[in-house]
Structure 1
Amino acid sequence: MSIFQDNSPLAERMRPSNLDQLIGQEHLVGEKGILKRSIASGRVPSMILWGPPGTGKTTLANIIANQVKMPFHTLSAISAGVKDIREVIGNIRGGSKAILFIDEIHRFNKGQQDALLGAVEKGAITLIGATTENPSFEVNAALLSRCQVYTLNHLEKGHLKTIIEKALVEDHELKKMQVDLKETEALFNLSGGDARKLLNILELVIKSDENTKEIVITDEKVINAVQRKTVLYDKSGEMHYDIISAFIKSIRGSDPNAAVYYLARMIEGGEDVKFIARRLLILASEDIGNANPTALVMANATFQSVNVIGYPESRIILSQCVTYLACSPKSNASYEAINEAQRVVARTGDLQVPMAIRNAPTKLMKDQGYGEGYKYAHAHEHNFAEMEFLPEEIRATRFYDPGKNPREDELRKFLKNRWKEKYGY
């Protein structure tokens, strides 16, 4: 007979009830966290909490409601419709305000999201949406513009260790037992930075061995217990991130065989077709870029196509795109160029645009020198006239260095012909 009297999951029993109990997300709720300041003031904006599973999105929403002492309503985007949204908003009467928490808000369609706009804009509700997907893709622009987006990070090993230690000391069920946490690597790896999964695995291992006098947690014991209880591919856990990482690295490494294998793993595991297609879009620009500009066209066509078709036929389109990208020449020159440009912007701030290339739509601006000295490229031989386009403080700074591949070699020759002296191509 089990000595466990409380049947609620360990993760639920250990759910934090205030910010001091929340582990991780210091950038949001630490001493200098922007969200902590908002909560302390009692004025929290409508927001989207974006982050991986088990990082505290639902918990944070509950804590916010408790601390600002506002009524808390919750809907799940999996089951709720426009009628449910309107019903909740209708129940918030008079001038009172309330928090409406919507889990997995990315699953709402445009009509469902639009049903929230009026109440959010008037301040009748403070919306807190939780999503594991990039809000830029999944939340419509009108709603997104009315919300702050806060990103929650994966929990690090130090956070995970603290969570386990707190559970062993504070949970009323685990305190009944003598648990020796001998090894933790398997717990950390299999949880994938997901606190909920971490605690559920810990409880699973303890329950599988609860009749012994002393329970010793080892990596082998964790792996054996998990293998008996979990599926091969968990879309929201560690396996998800390992597989997508292997998938991207295989394409980047020009191995179509490995790439299509990991594609099959994701398809068989029921991975969202849009998630795969989005990653291909990013890779086409980040890892191939101008070495083969058609790669981005192919990836974009794939994204559009799979949105229309869906599974199972979209697997063929994905396979075509994956093998094409894997077999394309590679270059991250454009990726490195924007990284370096952003670093310079962060370091130098808002430098003045040269007067010669400023727009001069009015006579006053022309009189002040706007546009003076500008050379219209098409009025010169080869459609080129050398002049300064960068701010004076960073003149002659080279951000784009074409990759070493046939396509970008042509771009390098073009740039060398025009900018050899200035940029050193």
Structure 2
Amino acid sequence: MSRRTTAQPPDTGDLLGDYAPSRPLAERMRPRELDDMVGQRRLLAPGSALRRAVEAGRIHSMVLWGPPGCGKTTLALLFARYADAEFRSVSAVLSGLPDVRRELADAAARFANGRRTVLFVDEVHRFNKTQQDAFLPHIERGTIIFVGATTENPSFELNSALLSRCRVHVLDAVSPEDIAEALRRALADGERGLGDMGLDVSDEALHEIATAADGDVRRGLTLLEIAAELAQDEGGVITTTTLAQVLADRSRRFDKGGEQFYDQISALHKSVRSSNPDAALYWLARMLDGGCDRSYLARRMTRMAVEDIGLADPRALPMALDAWDTFERLGSPEGELALAQLVLYLASTAKSNAAYVAYKKAQADVREHGTQEVPLHLRNAPTKLMKDLGYARGYQYDHDADAGIALDQTAFPDAMGERVYYEPVPRGLELKLKDKLDSLRAARAAARDDGRAET
């Protein structure tokens, strides 16, 4: 990224570049200029709309949406610095409506005296609708420059009134290469970083730390700081033994009820549907690794067996139920192999949603045609009165008919006529079902035509 050509931004006190050694390394190494940011090349590229606005000091109210450690807080600090504005912060986890109102009142007082305020609201999705509404008049009047940060999809978590007054900027997870660059800067910086410790770190070790950070710059710097402390007992060398201790418990990004959860279960389902067993197994492993409820996964895969495999392979449903039962009996981790085998089979076998589509068509007819009477010939007639009324009259017992099917007998309500809902696909077992039903439906149509001609 090219160096800035505009004037240096004004200082914001100790919010950026606080060198106090008691502060965590990630806090000390916060970028002080846009050019110091790692990652977010798309959003902060030279000439981009956001970069031009920031460098000119024209900051607009916005929502920053991205994973943990991608730079949301740092960007908010930089916005305040470039705009020569007061930076204030509230956390939706720790603050309530009284705290918000107090910050808004202080911002209004500063605004009256000619100074703007960047109000950074961390985890903004945790505020309810009433709390989010409190910001609206202040954003409209320009009392505050609202910068909300969220790891959740704003479309689902923020109310439309707030979204209409803010621009949403999407931040990406930081790549291992960019995180490694941030680690090198920390190792070289003797003022804010670890440059005065004389550490010996190989590129392979840095890459391993950067990969373990899983897109989170803050996490990468924290891991490096821990490794540096342990390396003091190893003569300043971050060895493979040191790394093994630091990276012993690697956890990947996953939330059990948010955007990442639904994105990953969608990827798993669609990988099965597209007959890609390798991709399906990967997404299953990702969700298991993230701590997803195993019973939920078994339930979802049972749904896949019904919805996406259907009668193309009727073995899929009992196999799904068996895998579910096996996991319930064995638990983790042994029972997870049954889920893995199931997802491989579901992704590999023939697919058909014909039963699912047929059921939806039947539901639509039920809604459209209302409560239709059962045809008299299909009704049960256990009493003389019912027989006298015509119940069961004209019913043909199929087992007594030629080929075991009474072709000229309808089973639909008289007002509806015959319907075709189920249309088997030419795959798997449904290929045989399709041949049989096509022949049978043609024969029924011919029998009905003959009956009409005789009439």
User: What TM-score range do you get, normalising by the shorter chain?
Assistant: 0.5 to 0.7
Maintained 8 Å contact 1:155/1:193: yes
- Deviation string 1:63-104 (CA, Å, 9 cap, x unpaired) is 000010011111001011122111111112254431110001
Partner residue of 1:17 out of 8, 20, 32:
32
Distance in 2 between the 1:45 and 1:143 partners?
A: 13
- Deviation string 1:7-36 (CA, Å, 9 cap, x unpaired) is 211111111111121111122222122211
Partner residue of 1:119 out of 117, 121, 138:
138
Maintained 8 Å contact 2:20/2:28: no
Describe the SS at the equivalent of 1:155: coil
Distance in 2 between the 1:233 and 1:224 partners?
A: 17
Distance in 1 between the 2:97 and 2:254 partners?
A: 27
> Are the structure 2 counterparts of residues 128 and 188 from structure 1 closer, same or farther at C-alpha, using a change threshold of 3 Å?
same
Equivalent residues in 2 for 1:142-153 (5 A)?
A: 142-153=161-172
Distance in 1 between the 2:132 and 2:246 partners?
A: 41
Question: Structure 2: 5+ residue runs without aligned partners?
Answer: 1-18, 311-338, 354-424, 435-455
> Are the structure 2 counterparts of residues 241 and 163 from structure 1 closer, same or farther at C-alpha, using a change threshold of 3 Å?
farther
- Deviation string 1:203-234 (CA, Å, 9 cap, x unpaired) is 1111112133341354x53232232xx57676
Shift of 1:288: 10
> Are the structure 2 counterparts of residues 112 and 162 from structure 1 closer, same or farther at C-alpha, using a change threshold of 3 Å?
same
Q: Which residue of the partner structure matches residue 169 of structure 1?
A: 188
Q: Which residue of the partner structure matches residue 273 of structure 1?
A: none
Shift of 1:177: 2.2
Q: State the TM-score, normalized to the length of structure 2.
A: 0.54
Distance in 2 between the 1:266 and 1:19 partners?
A: 36
Distance in 2 between the 1:199 and 1:83 partners?
A: 35
Describe the SS at the equivalent of 1:179: coil
Maintained 8 Å contact 1:247/1:263: no
- Deviation string 1:261-318 (CA, Å, 9 cap, x unpaired) is 945952579xxxxxx99xx8xxx99x999878xxxxxxxxxxxxxxxxxxxxxxxxxx
Is 2:212 aligned against 1:190?
A: yes
In terms of Rg, which structure is larger?
Answer: 2
> Are the structure 2 counterparts of residues 15 and 261 from structure 1 closer, same or farther at C-alpha, using a change threshold of 3 Å?
closer
Distance in 1 between the 2:81 and 2:26 partners?
A: 19
Shift of 1:195: 0.4
CA RMSD of aligned residues (A): 4.7
Equivalent residues in 2 for 1:297-336 (5 A)?
A: none
Distance in 2 between the 1:167 and 1:266 partners?
A: 33
Maintained 8 Å contact 1:38/1:44: yes
- Deviation string 1:233-265 (CA, Å, 9 cap, x unpaired) is 7658xxx97998599548844889x95994595
Maintained 8 Å contact 1:29/1:36: yes
Q: Which residue of the partner structure matches residue 178 of structure 1?
A: 198
Shift of 1:50: 0.7
> Are the structure 2 counterparts of residues 19 and 232 from structure 1 closer, same or farther at C-alpha, using a change threshold of 3 Å?
closer
Maintained 8 Å contact 2:200/2:236: yes
> Are the structure 2 counterparts of residues 19 and 288 from structure 1 closer, same or farther at C-alpha, using a change threshold of 3 Å?
farther
Q: Which residue of the partner structure matches residue 155 of structure 2?
A: 136
- Deviation string 1:345-404 (CA, Å, 9 cap, x unpaired) is xxxxxxxxxxxxxxxxxxxxxxxxxxxxxxxxxxxxxxxxxxxxxxxxxxxxxxxxx997
Distance in 2 between the 1:107 and 1:137 partners?
A: 12
For 1:80, give the aligned amino acid.
S
Distance in 2 between the 1:116 and 1:207 partners?
A: 43
For 2:198, give the aligned amino acid.
Q
* Identity within the alignment, %: 31
For 2:106, give the aligned amino acid.
N
Is 2:175 aligned against 1:156?
A: yes
Tell me the number of residue pairs that the alignment of Structure 1 and Structure 2 aligns: 296
Distance in 2 between the 1:119 and 1:48 partners?
A: 15
Q: Which residue of the partner structure matches residue 199 of structure 1?
A: 221
Q: Which residue of the partner structure matches residue 208 of structure 1?
A: 230
- Deviation string 1:83-140 (CA, Å, 9 cap, x unpaired) is 2111111112254431110001111111111111111122221110011111111111
Q: State the TM-score, normalized to the length of structure 1.
A: 0.58
Distance in 2 between the 1:18 and 1:222 partners?
A: 31
For 1:177, give the aligned amino acid.
M
Maintained 8 Å contact 2:177/2:210: no
Equivalent residues in 2 for 1:198-237 (5 A)?
A: 198-218=220-240, 221-227=242-248, 230=249, 235=254
